[in-house]
Structure 1
């Protein structure tokens, strides 16, 4: 199924794989990727627009929104590795964010293949794979997560070694400017593939100076998620051991930007969760003008909270939870405003340069994010809010505009899609991918190739931040199944009857036949993707190490 806007559609060319295209036939590729953007806040329609994002909305109307796009591993770096390689984490070797083995850049990736096909390639902003980028003619990347204000950029120095430069400004704006400057000065005789990697809206959710407070009024009118006070009943017991709740695991100074020095000691005891009292170090990067604006706004926020607590207007855990949620939403949604500006600037550049008609624009997040559902923030787990990820594609004359596709797709599909559109879908290249091209969906949003598709997911980070379990599972058109290797538990959700995923029906006798069928699908996909029998591993077992293979 798909929902199509009422608009005149262009003539669509046959997009089946062809012989190598000429430079004039091959599209440019503009790939915009953000960090931790929730599908609940994509801004493409009324349903996913808690505040207005006009440029996201315009991009969605001009392109196709994939409403059932999923990640293969809901963690920033691993998801990006899956996108680059078109392979699952155990096949590309990058299963954690940091602190283990850096991404192996010697393996096949779509940027390398585009280079070989004659494309000029570049990446700016977030990379988050520890190693130096390969497959890019030019790169300027953040160290690790990067910083919102006055970020450092790593580039390749004249001696071939890394060079680190701190640049004044807001990260989203700087990445956008660098990207447009590169587009302006590139070799215009070649098609280009440009990756624009934004930090936003990653924690600690710091909006640009011009956007401080811009989301507050809209957020004041929002209704919290129905599961904000989730008690985790009717699901695996390990869920109660998570360490990513808004109520207990959010740092009021660092995450919610309260100014510690302005909070009386008696109030501190009421608002700070044990073990989560650290302060926001990022303010130390700010110049005097930036810091003055930041502290002026957050001084008022702090004074307001202190008064609410002292007056008794916030005195229960429920009241404090809602205050935390609204403050989190204000900053999270506010940090996306600069991304919306960026999309507007990039699309305007394509229009003014005459590049729009022959440029495939891809927008995606690196996984989903919790906006209070199940009482959580962050990602991890196979719940729909973090498993699903934003995906919009626009290519005039090739992708039907205004369509919302309900085909199940995955981030390992992006690389083969890019290669197919670029005419670089040679057997040698395509055999390295575990995903499949989305080109058959471009005309209508649906295709027999994607009917009743089942996809595989795996998460490895335990022990690790937020105490999510090692688990893997599958998503069918109706059901979500997961095996929690860390705790030895299983869960099955009937997403048709229980879209909020509040009741585990794995042991419900009425679902006995479904359990048998889905376990067959699960083992089938593990075999198909060559998942080792002991992976991702149970509690107390070593974290697996994988050598890239294809």
Structure 2
């Protein structure tokens, strides 16, 4: 097939980019004009969800179109089997040129390297922000510069040198804005004005499962000196703060949160500015503002480089016949419930940004409120490429949604399962659940199944039900409320039906109320 009959596809994915920090989503905390351009010239999704809110499993689900119990990539330490089928292999065998650039994070070495790609150049592990290393078929090299710029340079250079007689598929995966939020120095002047504290920043976790209270991802207590760009002094935990990981080889420590903060002096590692505090609340808000500054500045480089990509497509005459997608591998907490990080099925972590532009088929400035999931991406790519969607894929193409037509049989349901019970850093509990257009059901089963990177369970099992229409901040668990008994029955049936459909094995025992 000629290029003109099938679109090129550019899939740009950031790491840990919350929808709230893309200005077209309306939170008003930063300005991302180039990402907004995708929404203005295409479609914005408000209800795109991740099936497992952690980097490695999400990437496997996107690449294969399957849930993690099927592709075998269930935890952060999992590695993908290179012989497994994936969307790039199908596109390449169907005539597309394919490339993977940036963060891979699905394992390293010959058994886990990217497959299905004509060209690949990926960062080892989490990668570095400054002067990063890259791994390719010919080995390891180090590139001078800032990671977001370099990843974009490599992506655009590959497009320039492509075979112009065939369509192309590019996965451009940025490291940013992943922890530890090391921004390009040219953006140091940005976001110096305070960001409004989230309404739930001082959440006391009442009326919720135990998992919410015990998680170690609180802005006020669990951010480190490196996270906040502060100089770490010498000393023991009573002076410096506890280690993020209790191991002899780990040196990064959490910034203290003492009851008496008046003796605490924190020093900016770049310019030596000294910060002092009068109250614990003042210290907690300082950490939040510092975190947000660094996070938003890394995003500015992402936005700049999305702009470079869109301008390049215009200059090369490729914009009309190229699908451009921007998303993140999951959501992220920006101080909501007092947290940073992800992992949980609570909305800020569960919901992914998703922006898509394709002038030939998607009307400009449209918004979709239907539910899609990251396992749906691969089937959609194949649909646009006019290729058969293989039967092993568990997602569904949402091409009709892009045409503003919702199929009568479209499943308005998102399934999530987080397997990493009590990971060594964050103490997040294992859970699964479903969300429909109004309600969210979560079962905290708190078991590790012997998976690498997890610790034994034994904690009490708990259910949570949230009415996302009446309680969008997810502060009140309705599971035990009499007026929600029919909803509990309905949502539990929805959960069990979905688990049967995708072949995931439940560990709960549920007896309907009637």
**TM-score of the aligned structures, taking structure 2 as reference length:** 0.88
- Residue 142 of structure 1 corresponds to which residue in structure 2? 123
User: Any conservation in 2 of the 1:126–1:146 contact (CA below 8 Å)?
Assistant: yes
Q: 1:527 aligns with which of 476, 479, 500?
A: 500
Provide Cα deviations, 1:318-359, integer angstroms capped at 9, x if missing partner: 111100000000000110000001100101111100100000
Q: 1:108 aligns with which of 85, 92, 95?
A: 85
* 1:409 and 2:358 aligned: no
Provide Cα deviations, 1:84-131, integer angstroms capped at 9, x if missing partner: 111111111101122x4x101212211000000010101110011002
- Residue 142 of structure 2 corresponds to which residue in structure 1? 166
- Residue 233 of structure 1 corresponds to which residue in structure 2? 206
Separation in 2 of the partners of 1:280 and 1:188? 48
> 1:276: how far off?
4.3
SS at match of 1:523: helix
Task: State the superposition RMSD in angstroms.
Answer: 2.0
SS at match of 1:467: coil
Separation in 1 of the partners of 2:409 and 2:31? 35
User: Any conservation in 1 of the 2:496–2:506 contact (CA below 8 Å)?
Assistant: no
Separation in 2 of the partners of 1:49 and 1:104? 42
* 1:255 and 2:214 aligned: no
Separation in 2 of the partners of 1:347 and 1:449? 35
Query: Comparing both chains, which one has the higher relative contact order based on Cα–Cα distances under 8 Å and sequence gaps of 6 or more?
Result: 1
- Residue 259 of structure 2 corresponds to which residue in structure 1? none
Separation in 2 of the partners of 1:30 and 1:333? 24
Q: 1:366 aligns with which of 310, 329, 333?
A: 329
* 1:322 and 2:285 aligned: yes
Q: How many residues in Structure 1 have an aligned counterpart in Structure 2? A: 473
Separation in 1 of the partners of 2:201 and 2:482? 29
- Residue 171 of structure 2 corresponds to which residue in structure 1? 195
Change (3 A) 1:531 1:348: same
Provide Cα deviations, 1:341-390, integer angstroms capped at 9, x if missing partner: 11001011111001000001111100000000010000011000000001
Provide Cα deviations, 1:24-56, integer angstroms capped at 9, x if missing partner: 2000010100000001112225x1341111101
- Residue 160 of structure 1 corresponds to which residue in structure 2? none
Where structure 2 has 5 or more consecutive residues not aligned to the other structure, the ranges are 254-266, 447-459, 509-514
* 1:480 and 2:440 aligned: yes
Instruction: Summarize the alignment of residues 145-544 of structure 1 with structure 2, pairs less than 5 Å apart.
Output: 145-157=126-138, 163-217=139-193, 220=194, 222-251=195-224, 253-261=225-233, 273-276=241-244, 298-300=269-271, 302-305=272-275, 309=276, 314-424=277-387, 426=388, 429-444=389-404, 446-450=406-410, 453-464=412-423, 465-486=425-446, 487-534=460-507
Separation in 2 of the partners of 1:50 and 1:240? 27
Separation in 2 of the partners of 1:204 and 1:121? 30
Change (3 A) 1:527 1:481: same
**TM-score of the aligned structures, taking structure 1 as reference length:** 0.83
Instruction: Summarize the alignment of residues 6-155 of structure 1 with structure 2, pairs less than 5 Å apart.
Output: 22-45=2-25, 47-98=26-77, 100=78, 102-130=79-107, 131-155=112-136
> 1:456: how far off?
1.1
Separation in 2 of the partners of 1:148 and 1:246? 22
> 1:245: how far off?
0.7
SS at match of 1:362: strand
